[in-house]
Amino acid sequence: MNFSLEYLVREPKIKLDKNPLLLLIHGYGSNEQDLFSFATELPNEYYIVSVRAPYDIQYGSYAWYAINFDANQNKFSDNEQARTSRDLIAQFIDELEANYSIDSNNVTLIGFSQGAILSYAVALSHPEKVQKVVALSGYLNAEILEENYLKNSFSNLKIFAAHGTVDQVIPVEWARKAKPFLDNLGINTTSKEYPIGHGVSPQEFNDFKNWLEK
């Protein structure tokens, strides 16, 4: 079968009838190799799949959507491309489940930066496909959610959101808006901050790993 997105996979070291899935979603200008470096540190029972964004910006660099600047250097996200990517990831989860023995009731998205923004969008638009989200150094963009997302049931969705307090790429103030938004939807959310910039600290990595294993 042809997959709608390029990816890398680490098969589970402990084979069950159906294994849980960790889907790694990289940030702007990166590729599927980036977060895959985490794979060896993640729990052995998971399928670990790292996916490549569809928009090619230059050799070896990809984006889930374009970020454009106006004459005053204000940033604009291409929300149309972001919605297309949201739907591609949702479709890709179905393709993985059709081709690997994945437990469809145990799917986790781990997204960094633009990947975290997309992880929120996929999970809130399709909570029937995703049970957990780890959103690292991203924010929640309500404009790229499915129009009817409020009709969804979020009772099985859990979110771990983490951000650096001195993030120079995505201000921590943007990230902080996610928790009240998610609380309002009744979603079980853990939110943490770390004294770092736009990256993942060892402490943060350990915290989300422990959260996953709970």
CA–CA dist 62, 78 (Å, integer) = 14
- Supply the mean pLDDT for the chain: 95
Q: How does strand 7-10 pair with strand 47-51?
A: antiparallel
Residue 31, in any domain of the structure: yes
Q: How many domains does the chain contain in total?
A: 1
Residue 106, in any domain of the structure: yes
Angle between helices 114-125 and 79-99 (to 10 degrees): 70
Total-model pTM: 0.95
Residue 182, in any domain of the structure: yes
Taking Cα atoms as reference points, which of 69, 92, 66 lies closest to residue 80? 66
Looking at the predicted structure, is the pLDDT value of residue 69 above 80? no
Residue 120, in any domain of the structure: yes
Structure tokens that stand for 119 in this block: 């992880």
Q: How confident is the model at residue 71 (pLDDT cuts 50, 70, 90)?
A: low
Measured between alpha carbons, how far is residue 79 from residues 75, 161, 174, 185, 188 in Å? 12, 22, 17, 22, 26
Helix (H) or strand (E) holding 159: strand 158-164
CA–CA dist 178, 150 (Å, integer) = 16
Domain, as residue range, for 16: 7-213
What is the predicted pLDDT for the residue at 68? 76
